Chains A and B, each alone.
Chain A
Amino acid sequence: MWIPLSYALRGLWQRKMTTLLAVFGLGTVVAIIAGVLALQQGFETLYAEHGRKDLFVFLRPGANSEGESTFPPDRAKTLIKSLPEIAQDEAGQPLASMECFLAVRRYKVDGGETNVPIRGVQPMTFALRGDDVRIVEGEPFEPGTDQVVVGRSLLGRIRNCNLGATIWINTTPFQVVGVLDSEGPFSSEIWGDFDRMSDALNRENPNRIVAQMVPGTDEQAFAKALEKHPEVPAKVLSERTYLSSQTAALSATLKFLAGLLGTIMGVAAIFTATNTMLSALAARTREVGTLLSIGFRPIAVFLSFLIEALFLGLLGGLVGCLLVLPIHGIRTGTMNFDTFTEVAFAFRITPEVLTTAIVFSLFLGLLGGAWPAWRASRLLPTEALRRR
């Protein structure tokens, strides 16, 4: 015969203060872990979900990021013209753009320094990007002039990043004429004309080429062919793959942090849960004795206490989720260890984060409840009944 569920749950209700403290304790632990994971999710989706599969990125062989990569300009031009796999616009021009990229030192509005990516692009870029990159205020920069547009995430965070301001790059002043918005990491960048940027930065070599491919181009096969290209060997990968590869270090760090906190705080939380369940047992020793003496089997008592602990865990998980929900969408900026530049993004409470939080909390409840439940099931009815 099984002990009714309501018996286990009533136990939690009877000791409201203890239950409340335990639930909030568990909830706080769960919220910390979920918060770190939400940071990681926000960061990772910014990169991984906003890279396009039909755009390919060309890098110097051996380079792992655009900062490390460089092409001699004439070779880059040859590459763009000679590849039939690159799509063309109506006028027959290849849909490709050389880009130069540099993380430049900038001052933050609230003090301190940071690295902001500056990207010089060719006019074809906007045809390539379509609606992914929009000018939401002001105008796009005029090709061939010292004008730039700034990413929306930089407004209010980086000094001189507002419409009409002047940005000095090395010895050249650039006029901010527009604000650029994009769902991906571009909204933390400053964009200008490729030739003018290369000139100002004193770097004539483009760092990478971005091109739209003819539909159906196979990433793997194309990359293999380009690796062995007789004139201009290059490392090729889709933009989605490229951007995903730029998150490894920070993502791993955040996951490690969540795991570390989860382990240490988790053990502490299990201790707390065990304490709570032990007090539940102490308060009901006589009741347990009664249950056992009227014929409930020890396994039923064990399960009843375990269910109570699991329910405690579930409540803790729910409270944790509620505590962490308000941070969803809060924008923050942090250093991407792979590019060494600052990116802005929002915390993201994804279903995965919530599931992890609940499962983690249930797990804590289970581990915390196991020992008291076992002890309850091993009570001798005669002794238990004698206890006050």
Chain B
Amino acid sequence: MDFWTLTRRNLLRHPLRTFLTCGAIALAIFLVCTLRSLVTTLDNTAAAARNERLWVQSAVSLFVGLPQAYQSKIEAVEGVEVVCPWQWFGGIYQDPKNFFSQFAVDPVKTFDLYPEMKVIDGSLDEFVADRRGAMVGQGLVDRFGWKVGDKIPLLGALFPHPEGSDVPWEFEIRGIYEPEANNVDNQMFLFHWEYFAETYELGEGQPPDAGTFVMRTEPGSDQKRVMREVDALFENGPQRVQTTTESEFQAQFVSMYGNVGFFVTVIGGAVLFAILLAALNTMLMAAREQTRDVGVLKALGFSDGRLFRYLLGQSFVLCLVGGAIGIGLALLLEKGIGKAFATMLPNYTVVPQTLVLAVGITLALGLLAGLLPALRARSILPVNALADR
């Protein structure tokens, strides 16, 4: 009788129990993969950013804009190629729950700065030509079922429309983009900075601030120097600025999420502990029932070492099957989970490292759950085992 036959027979002796244990392990591994992916996605947003782009933002607060006049001053710094204003709009689409990012931007410069954003429907030219046009991400199209030509009303929570705070701003979708790399959010709603600025001035009597500026430096220029010089321009106010690379800029946001990563890790650890107990329980139950079998096998001349390997192997097989299902589930549901977390955490992905980790955990689980029963089998005497009824 070889290992596989014995293992199969033993595991299938109680098909329901094996199925339930496998299921529990699968769910736990799935959960661990998903939780871990949330953390890596959070970290990778920053890592995937392109460093040829620099961000100029207020050194004081994320909620404070920079005067428009800063743009020409920044453009005058040697080595700066393109500067584009980037203003958070924070409007409400139908219901505050439908949260997504909206930005007033320079349409031409934005697509120059972001070559990884590809227009897949409508066209960039149409977007540029229409003052009230909008360019939206594929993620939003999936979420709200929009199409090119749709008119989208946004109630200005931060920037009331000049005709009244209950009058929405209206935009028409002229294009849909999809980022090629996952460093760009695919759920942005972009519209013309000029249209925004002029409408705002109509109501408030003064031009709006530009929230931040995105810029690119000329190839070969010294980025560190450019960053230093831009910061120095406004050292004495009216609004101090901080220039960072795109990855630093995004890392800031990640660090603001604070200990989310820590919480998720703690939860994942507890999940693993719970499931280890479950797997151990099953293996012990199986081992108890196999006491007689072990006695018979020993009486037939099976060595202790061989039996040890058999019992341990049985636990590995059980855990590996469960783990494989869990990993498969995590990969299968990647898209769906990505959608569920899209507003908070765009571009959810399960990275290979997570899968390696999951396999490692599964193996460790198999070892821990199988070791105790396997060790116990060594001390079983055929006489006692066969007498045991």
By a CB distance below 8 angstroms, the chain B residues around A22 are 277-278, 281
Q: Is A68 an interface residue (CB 8 A)?
A: yes
Q: Is B236 an interface residue (CB 8 A)?
A: yes
**A28/B62 contact (C-beta < 8 A), A62-B160, A114-B256 known:** no
A-B contact pairs, 26 of them (CB 8 A): A22-B278, A25-B275, A25-B278, A28-B277, A36-B267, A60-B160, A60-B165, A62-B155, A63-B157, A68-B157, A103-B62, A103-B63, A115-B61, A170-B59, A202-B237, A253-B344, A268-B275, A271-B278, A272-B277, A275-B17, A278-B14, A333-B258, A334-B258, A335-B260, A340-B63, A342-B256
Q: Is B151 an interface residue (CB 8 A)?
A: no
The one of B237, B260, B282 in contact with A170, judged by C-beta atoms closer than 8 angstroms, is B237
Q: Is A279 an interface residue (CB 8 A)?
A: yes
The one of B24, B239, B284, B285 in contact with A202, judged by C-beta atoms closer than 8 angstroms, is B239
Which parts of A330-347 form the interface with B (CB within 8 Å)?
Answer: 332-335, 337, 340, 342
Q: Is A201 an interface residue (CB 8 A)?
A: yes
Which parts of B4-18 form the interface with A (CB within 8 Å)?
Answer: 14, 16-17
Q: How far is the CA of A264 from the CA of B30 in the complex (A)?
A: 9
Q: State the 10 A-B residue pairs at the shortest beta-carbon distance, nearest first.
A: A112-B255, A62-B165, A28-B274, A271-B20, A25-B277, A268-B24, A21-B281, A272-B278, A271-B24, A268-B27
Contact pattern, B 343-361, Cβ under 8 Å of A = 1, otherwise 0: 0100000000000000000
B262 CB, nearest partner CB in chain A, Å: 9
- Residues in chain A within 8 A of chain B (CB atoms): 17-18, 21-22, 24-25, 28-29, 31-32, 35-36, 39, 60-64, 67-68, 102-105, 108, 111-115, 169-171, 201-203, 253, 261, 264-265, 267-269, 271-272, 274-276, 278-279, 282, 332-335, 337, 340, 342, 388
Q: How far is the CA of A61 from the CA of B164 in the complex (A)?
A: 10
**A113/B256 contact (C-beta < 8 A), A171-B236, A267-B27 known:** yes
A326 CB, nearest partner CB in chain B, Å: 13
Contact pattern, B 328-353, Cβ under 8 Å of A = 1, otherwise 0: 00000000000000001000000000
Q: How far is the CA of A170 from the CA of B20 in the complex (A)?
A: 60
Q: Is B270 an interface residue (CB 8 A)?
A: yes
**A334/B260 contact (C-beta < 8 A), A29-B274, A271-B21 known:** yes
Q: Is the CB of A265 within 8 A of B274?
A: yes
Nearest A residue to B267, CB-CB: A32
In addition to A60-B165, A103-B63, A334-B263, 19 A-B residue pairs with Cβ atoms within 8 Å of each other are A25-B275, A36-B267, A68-B157, A104-B60, A114-B258, A170-B239, A202-B237, A202-B238, A261-B267, A264-B27, A268-B278, A272-B277, A275-B278, A278-B14, A278-B16, A333-B258, A335-B258, A340-B62, A388-B389
Q: Is the CB of B270 within 8 A of A275?
A: no
Q: Is the CB of B24 within 8 A of A61?
A: no
Nearest A residue to B31, CB-CB: A264
Nearest A residue to B284, CB-CB: A17
**A18/B285 contact (C-beta < 8 A), A105-B60, A342-B256 known:** yes
The one of B30, B240, B260, B285 in contact with A275, judged by C-beta atoms closer than 8 angstroms, is B285
Nearest B residue to A62, CB-CB: B165
By a CB distance below 8 angstroms, the chain B residues around A28 are 270, 273-274, 277
Contact pattern, B 161-175, Cβ under 8 Å of A = 1, otherwise 0: 000011000000000
The one of B61, B90, B344 in contact with A104, judged by C-beta atoms closer than 8 angstroms, is B61
**A115/B256 contact (C-beta < 8 A), A68-B90, A264-B31, A272-B20 known:** yes
Q: Is the CB of B259 within 8 A of A265?
A: no
By a CB distance below 8 angstroms, the chain B residues around A282 are 289
B115 CB, nearest partner CB in chain A, Å: 29
Interface core residue of A22, A67, A279 (most chain B CB under 10 Å): A279
Q: Is B257 an interface residue (CB 8 A)?
A: yes
By a CB distance below 8 angstroms, the chain B residues around A68 are 90, 157-158
Q: Is the CB of A113 within 8 A of B252?
A: yes
By a CB distance below 8 angstroms, the chain A residues around B240 are 170-171
**A275/B282 contact (C-beta < 8 A), A261-B267, A265-B31 known:** yes
By a CB distance below 8 angstroms, the chain B residues around A113 are 252, 255-256
Q: How far is the CA of A268 from the CA of B21 in the complex (A)?
A: 8
**A114/B255 contact (C-beta < 8 A), A64-B157, A170-B60, A268-B27 known:** yes
Q: Is B28 an interface residue (CB 8 A)?
A: yes
- Band of interface residues on B: 35 or more
Nearest B residue to A118, CB-CB: B61
By a CB distance below 8 angstroms, the chain B residues around A63 are 157
Q: Is the CB of A25 within 8 A of B63?
A: no
**A272/B281 contact (C-beta < 8 A), A170-B239, A202-B237 known:** yes
Which parts of B316-333 form the interface with A (CB within 8 Å)?
Answer: none
By a CB distance below 8 angstroms, the chain A residues around B267 are 32, 35-36, 261
* Contacts between the two chains (Cβ within 8 Å), count: 163
By a CB distance below 8 angstroms, the chain B residues around A61 are 165-166
Q: Is B271 an interface residue (CB 8 A)?
A: yes
Q: How far is the CA of A24 from the CA of B275 in the complex (A)?
A: 10
By a CB distance below 8 angstroms, the chain A residues around B274 are 25, 28-29, 32, 265, 268-269
Q: How far is the CA of A60 from the CA of B114 in the complex (A)?
A: 36
A25 CB, nearest partner CB in chain B, Å: 4
Q: How far is the CA of A21 from the CA of B284 in the complex (A)?
A: 10
By a CB distance below 8 angstroms, the chain A residues around B281 are 18, 21-22, 25, 272, 275-276
Q: How far is the CA of A264 from the CA of B27 in the complex (A)?
A: 6
Q: Is the CB of A265 within 8 A of B277?
A: no
By a CB distance below 8 angstroms, the chain A residues around B166 are 61-62
A382 CB, nearest partner CB in chain B, Å: 20
Q: Is the CB of B257 within 8 A of A201?
A: no
A362 CB, nearest partner CB in chain B, Å: 17
By a CB distance below 8 angstroms, the chain B residues around A261 are 31, 267, 271
Q: Is the CB of A275 within 8 A of B63?
A: no
B76 CB, nearest partner CB in chain A, Å: 22
B261 CB, nearest partner CB in chain A, Å: 11
Q: How far is the CA of A203 from the CA of B63 in the complex (A)?
A: 12
Q: Is B233 an interface residue (CB 8 A)?
A: no
**A333/B259 contact (C-beta < 8 A), A31-B270, A278-B16 known:** yes
Q: How far is the CA of A103 from the CA of B63 in the complex (A)?
A: 7
**A105/B258 contact (C-beta < 8 A), A17-B284, A18-B284 known:** no
By a CB distance below 8 angstroms, the chain B residues around A337 are 344
Which parts of B135-169 form the interface with A (CB within 8 Å)?
Answer: 155-158, 160, 165-166
B102 CB, nearest partner CB in chain A, Å: 14
A124 CB, nearest partner CB in chain B, Å: 26
A341 CB, nearest partner CB in chain B, Å: 9
Contact pattern, B 272-312, Cβ under 8 Å of A = 1, otherwise 0: 01110110111011000100000000000000000000000
Contact pattern, B 22-37, Cβ under 8 Å of A = 1, otherwise 0: 0110011011000000
Q: Is B64 an interface residue (CB 8 A)?
A: yes
Q: How far is the CA of A357 from the CA of B150 in the complex (A)?
A: 47
The one of B31, B60, B62, B96 in contact with A64, judged by C-beta atoms closer than 8 angstroms, is B96
Contact pattern, B 234-265, Cβ under 8 Å of A = 1, otherwise 0: 00111110000000000010011111100100
The one of A17, A102, A332, A342 in contact with B63, judged by C-beta atoms closer than 8 angstroms, is A102
